[in-house]
């Protein structure tokens, strides 16, 4: 029996890592199978090597098309080695970012041709899309002030400036408005327990169709 695929999206410092852990812990008590967590860029050994290229260094290190190609290569490896096998085993799979990130960061904000973004997002993923996408929405100034990635030097995207991140937020909200059946927008400015409770209230009613 196929599993359920949940993606988390949002700007820098929106709290995705914390909320993924909380949701995974909750799902482990209610889901019929295992719970698998992954992230992008990353997840597999090869994808983590690509991550190093993308999230470190000068913000102008790559242009948007190169970023999109690298992100897609990382995503493809993650899909083939982790996501699709887990879904086929009936797992609940939670990923920190998926193709919506490329649509927003490199497409809407980065200016990459929408046709190329669509080709990358479809042809490389064999039709696999999230069943539920949780968008953690937060004011970019608050999110960037919360971000702690400077501790491990993964600051390339944070360093792109407040205007960039404001456009990222607007891009996500526009994408969510155009895909209401998949997206759930969560106010991420609140404390983590309130956010978690909100996520459970939104996700729990949807689980029945996948059990």
pLDDT score recorded for residue 150: 47
CA distances from 24 to 16, 81, 101, 106, 163 (A): 12, 20, 21, 28, 33
**Sequence-ordered list of residues with C-beta below 8 angstroms from that of 80, at least 6 positions apart, any chain:** none
What does pTM read for this prediction?
A: 0.94
pLDDT of residue 152: 60
Residue 151: what pLDDT?
56
Q: What is the pLDDT of residue 155?
A: 82
pLDDT at 156: 86
Question: What does residue 3 show for φ and ψ, rounded to 5 degrees?
Answer: -90, -160
Closest among 10, 60, 8, 12 to 158, alpha carbons compared: 12
Q: At what angle do helices 64-78 and 45-55 cross, to 10 degrees?
A: 160
Which phi and psi angles does 187 have, rounded to 5°? -70, 110
Structural domains in the chain? 4-207 (3.40.50.300)
Positions in the chain short of pLDDT 50? 149-150
Write out the H or E segment, with its range, that includes residue 98: none
């Amino acid at each position: 029996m196929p599993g359920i695929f949940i993606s988390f999206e949002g700007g820098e410092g929106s709290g995705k890592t914390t909320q993924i852990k909380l949701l995974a812990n909750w799902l482990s008590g209610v889901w019929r199978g295992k719970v698998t967590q992954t992230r992008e860029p990353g997840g597999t050994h090869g994808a983590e090597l690509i991550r190093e290229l993308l999230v470190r260094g000068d913000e102008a290190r790559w242009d948007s098309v190169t970023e999109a190609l690298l992100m897609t290569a990382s995503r493809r490896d993650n899909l083939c080695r982790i996501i699709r096998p887990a879904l086929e085993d009936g797992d609940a799979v939670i990923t920190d970012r998926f193709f919506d990130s490329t649509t927003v960061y490199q497409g809407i904000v980065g200016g990459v041709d929408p046709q190329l973004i669509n080709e990358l997002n479809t042809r490389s993923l064999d039709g696999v899309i999230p069943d539920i996408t949780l968008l953690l929405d937060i004011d970019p100034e608050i999110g960037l002030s919360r971000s702690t990635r400077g501790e491990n030097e993964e600051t390339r995207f944070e360093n792109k400036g407040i205007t960039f991140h404001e456009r990222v937020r607007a891009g996500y909200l526009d994408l969510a408005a155009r895909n209401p059946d998949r997206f759930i927008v969560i106010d991420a400015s609140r404390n983590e327990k309130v956010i978690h409770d909100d996520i459970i209230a939104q996700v729990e009613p949807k689980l029945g169709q996948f059990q």
